[in-house]
Each structure stands twice: as structure tokens, then as C-alpha cells.
Chain A
Amino acid sequence: MTARLVRVCKPDLDPLTGAIECAVSGETLTLLADGALWWASERTLVVSDLHLEKGSRMAMRGQFVPPYDTELTLSRVERLVSALSPLRVISLGDAFDDVGGAERLDVSVLERLKAMQSGLDWIWIAGNHDPHIKADIGGIQTDEIALGSLVFRHEPTRGEAIGEIAGHLHPAARVFLGPKSVRRRCFAGDDNRLILPAMGAYTNGLSVTSDAFSGLFQHATMTVGLLGEGRVYAFPRRMLFV
């Protein structure tokens, strides 16, 4: 995957600020600093692993983490939708932290979620945390979807999968910068496949060097796009921490 910085001097509100462009299976894709993917030619926005209602799920087992994660995560998506005006939004699975999550959504949040969907196609791809969503949250539910030369699914398939866009693994990477190292959530990809970072406010990252990622990428062309403040930083595999 070769990455190119899109533009750096745009106003703060523009989600394209600090984004990088890359090619996967011949399609040009834009990696946004918010951790979402923008497929400009198809006017398609892809978000992954939102894990909505993770806070309330923790609260159910007695751990009262601040109850603002759903609102925070959804606001990020709202901002992207209103700025980019997509024709299609794909949620790559694990939109909810558990099967009951959608039913726990606050009424006002549910209204906002539905309002976002007006005038566009919204596709919920099933994830392992939310294999089926019973509540009425609008959009279409499916296991995977193919568009052009790309296929969108939750879990990356083992072995070669040309044109696969997936989530599930919550990639993160540690880069060495002189005297210290920095760890961030990231996109991980090569010329054939791209894995999106988790966008949920309470999602942890899994190192791209861990076993779960082995065999997914060509070592030589693998690149990560580290999420920074208003910018995605591209680094080759060789600069990552083993």
C-alpha cells in the first residue's frame, strides 16, 4: 500500500484534513483521521466497530464507566455524514457492543441515528458482538456486501482476500520515534486488503504485530495509518515495534 497525504491546510471542520489516500485492489480510498474510510468515487463512508452502548454494558456488571461513549461515538459519525454527504454508509460490524445494545439506546440517540439515515443507504454488517439486531434502527442488515472490486465484511478472512475491507481486529501499532515510542489506533493494509480501526470511544487496540494479524498482509507492502490529532500518519511495517 502506498499512501499519499491528501491535504493538510483545511479548516478544522473538514474531515478530510490530514487524511491520506491509498489504493486497495485498484480502488482509491481515503483514510480519515477520525478512523473512518471515505470512498470518494462511490460516495461511500465506512465506519467500523462503533461498539455503541459499551458503557451501559459495563454498568450492567457493576462497572460504572462514564455513560457518554455512545453519544461521543455517534457524534463523530454524524460529523462525517454531514460534512461528506455520502450516498451510502457502511457499518463494518460490532456497531453495538452486545446484542441487547440497540434496545438500550436512549430515545433521543435513536432519533439522531435515524435522522442521519435520511436520503442515503445505511448498511449494517453483522459483527460477532451484534450478529443480529432486533431493535428497529433503520437501514439494511447483512453479513457482507460487494461493491466494485471491493468486498466489505466484519472479520477478515484467513489467507488471501483481494479487495477485502474489514474491521473486527481493532488494529493499533507502536512506532519508534527516536528516544521513545508512540502507540495509536491505526488502519492496517497492503495492496490487497485494508483493516479499519475501531471507532468506538471505549474500544481498545490490538497490536498489528500480534498473532491475530499474522498471514493477513504482505510484509513488504504493509503500511499502517496511525491516527493522530487531525492527521493520519503513514508508516511502513519495518518501523513498527515487534
Chain B
Amino acid sequence: MAKEQLAYDEFMKGLWRENPVFVQVLGLCPLLAVTNSAINGLAMGLASFFVLLGSSILVSLFKSYIPKQVRISCFIIIIATFVTVVDYTLAAALPVIHKELGAFIPLIVANCLILGRMEAFASRNTLRMSVADAFGMGAGFLFALVSLGAVREILGVGELFGIALFGANFEPWVIMILPPGGFITLGVMLLYFNWLEEKKNKIDKQLATEDGVN
């Protein structure tokens, strides 16, 4: 039971409390580059999710065999293997999306979020915990990509996953599908998350002092 609790905790940590984008502010390059629509964000998020999960499992299994001195190169090779799998799979199954994402699929190799999880978590924890962590962080990244892509697509072209939402008279916010829109949306979301965090801290503090009085 205790073990289960811990795994659940690791998952929620990645999805929300230490969200790779909104809290750790990692992996911004693909985030800003491909989130001009929700579907692109979803594809990128799933690709990163798969790579992260696969690499976490392998690294966690082989952690005792990987020499400390060359661990980063080993992680990179493992990650690159999964990226190649994703790259070819997407090219074969969804060529349109593969073309839209372009160079950013191969660039998942250099995503600091994935390498960071290998170094900080998978190479030091059991398989079970690593899988939970990869699920959490992958879901967190996916959540960030899709929500950013959705906001930008809704405001930028008035659609969500390609379905028109507002009818013919919609006035597109051109800036939202351009790079500045990505920065502005991300900035506003970071602001929101920081505000939530501050609010939560305030409540925690209040509860703590009330407990103290009692």
C-alpha cells in the first residue's frame, strides 16, 4: 500500500506539482516551436511521452551496468534509439504531422527535460518508480503542449483540433499563431501557475499557524 502511494505521488509530481513546463520551465524549444495548433502539440507531446517512458525503463534497468564516467553518452544513445523509432513511425503513419513537426522530432534527443529525468531520476531509482516518474513528467509535458496549442489555435484561427468554433465571422488573432503569441501565452500561463502556487502557500501558512494556536 505504501509503495502504491509513492508511485502515485511521483506521477502527480510530474503532472502538476513539478510540471516540467509550468514549474521547471524545461523543454521550451519544442514547446514554443510546435504549439501553433492543438493537434501538433498533441503529436509532439505523445512523441516525447513515448521517448521518455522508453528511455526511463531502459536506463532504470541498466543503471548498474552504465559506467558513471560515460553515463550522459549512454543516456543519449538510448534516447536517440527511441527518437528514431518515433521519427520513422510518424513518417510512416502520419506523414502530414511529421512534416509539420519537421526538425523538432529528431531534436527530442536534445530535450533537456528527458535527459534531465534520466540523470536525476531513472538512473537512481527502481524500475517501478522510474515508470511512475516518466508517466508523470510525460503527462505533464503533454498537458502543457496541448493546453498551449489549444489556446493558440482557438485564438489564432478560431478552431480546436481543426473544428471551427466560432463561425464565419471570427476575427483571428494573427499574433497567436506566430512566435510572439507562443511567448505571450506561455508567459501568461507561467504567471497563472505562480499565482496558484503563491495562493496555495498562503493557505498552507494560514493552516500551519492555526494548528499552532490550537
Please indicate whether A and B come from the same complex rather than being unrelated chains. no
